[in-house]
Structure 1
Amino acid sequence: MSEKSIISEIRDAQIAMELISFGARMQVLESETCLSRRRLLKLYKELKGCSPPKGMLPFSTDWYMAWEQNIHSSIFYNIYSYLQKTVDGRPVEIMLKGYRLYLDNILIDTDKRPVLGLTRAWTLLRFIEGGMVKPTKCCSCGGSFITMPENATSNFTCSLCFPPSRAMKKCRVRKSVPEAMSAKI
């Protein structure tokens, strides 16, 4: 039996702590670290003061197709893709850097929860790897947005260029989000 490296175990514990601080579910922790479930549970309880939530991970791509969720998912994925090309490190470390940058650019009011949680961001990357969703360029603005593979055409128009009517009502209520997105993009 091979002996585990203390340094890699410490690195995994640091990654697990950061994932927990962003609200990652146990399935994400188990998938991205080499720590035992028992140690992860103990670490989670120590950091959060309670047991981790139970239940299944998001399993439908439909969530990512709604206009607001699509914009946030696309922003995160574009940040992640850029970091993947420019930064060395494990995929989980790149995902965490990308998620931190996403939060820095999206959250104006720190009391509000982000539209895209870490577990959904992690799931999005799994969906893209599996070919269930894919990035598609908008023919109007040239930005890359998450779409279903069957909807990816050369004349795709994103929901920022052609927002649905219900989006304008929500934008009037929460002016800070669209202003922040246009300022940061």
Structure 2
Amino acid sequence: MKIVPFKNGSNFSNNLVLAEKLILLGARPPIVSQLCQLSRQQSIDIFKSLTGCRPKQGMLPHDLQWVIRSTSNNIHASLFLGILDDARRRLSIQYSSAQVLVDVYSIYKNVASKILTEPKKISPAAQQFTLDVNRAWFLISMLVAGNLIFTVCTCCRTRYLSTIHPDATFSQCPICNVWKDRSGRRRWASAKSKKTN
């Protein structure tokens, strides 16, 4: 890794540690650069030194409708942002900081690996999470902007995410208001699907 000049040694070293943690969780250099106050090149250099390869090119996650594309997406996003919201309320923390993302995403991975993965998974290292750290970062910005809101299901009391969307189907509970198609995939319940079941 190249030696890069810096102004404040203690802040820079803290940011380097956080940058390493984020990259090991799968964060891409633009996110690391923004959260850790590092230059683009510094983030890329750290990424290459840790992973041994160049970072992936292309746009960062920006799909405003990802949360409502499937019930699985909604459950994972609700779990992650629920942990974040609870931490913010109890500890009076800021939403957008590298340490918060590292801590909350690590908790999410730990919980999700125990309750939201198939029992057939071979090892924790082989697990693929529906919500990666890059999309988690984007979801935080959506929550802060008010594009995502928490709703509590009147039936099962689950707290889930909903969006400002004209179709009420996407504001239903991802646990109660679903049905399974022939292939076993969970689908949002709609007036049409309720009639066929």
Give the TM-score taking structure 1 as reference length: 0.80
Kept after mapping to 1: 8 A contact 2:30/2:43: no
Inter-partner Cα distance in structure 2 for 1:38 and 1:86: 36
Q: Does 1:84 align with 2:88?
A: yes
Q: Does 1:15 align with 2:18?
A: yes
Paired residue type of 2:107: L
What is the number of equivalent residue pairs in this alignment?
167
In structure 2, the partner of 1:27 is: 30
In structure 2, the partner of 1:124 is: 139
The equivalences for 1:35-184 within 5 A come to: 35-65=38-68, 66-87=70-91, 91-108=97-114, 109=121, 110=124, 111-150=126-165, 157-166=172-181, 169-170=184-185
* Aligned-pair CA distance for 1:43: 0.6
Inter-partner Cα distance in structure 1 for 2:82 and 2:183: 24
Identical columns (%) = 23
Structure 2: stretches of 5+ with no match in the other structure:
1-5, 115-120, 187-197
Paired residue type of 1:85: R
Kept after mapping to 1: 8 A contact 2:160/2:174: no
Structure 1: stretches of 5+ with no match in the other structure:
172-185
Kept after mapping to 2: 8 A contact 1:75/1:102: yes
Kept after mapping to 2: 8 A contact 1:139/1:157: no
* Aligned-pair CA distance for 1:149: 2.0
Kept after mapping to 1: 8 A contact 2:147/2:164: yes
Paired residue type of 1:102: Y
Paired residue type of 2:61: P
Inter-partner Cα distance in structure 1 for 2:163 and 2:9: 42
* Aligned-pair CA distance for 1:13: 0.6
Compared with structure 1, are the counterparts of its residues 167 and 121 closer, same or farther at alpha carbon in structure 2 (3 Å cutoff)?
farther
Pick which of 133-142 and 24-33 moved more. 133-142
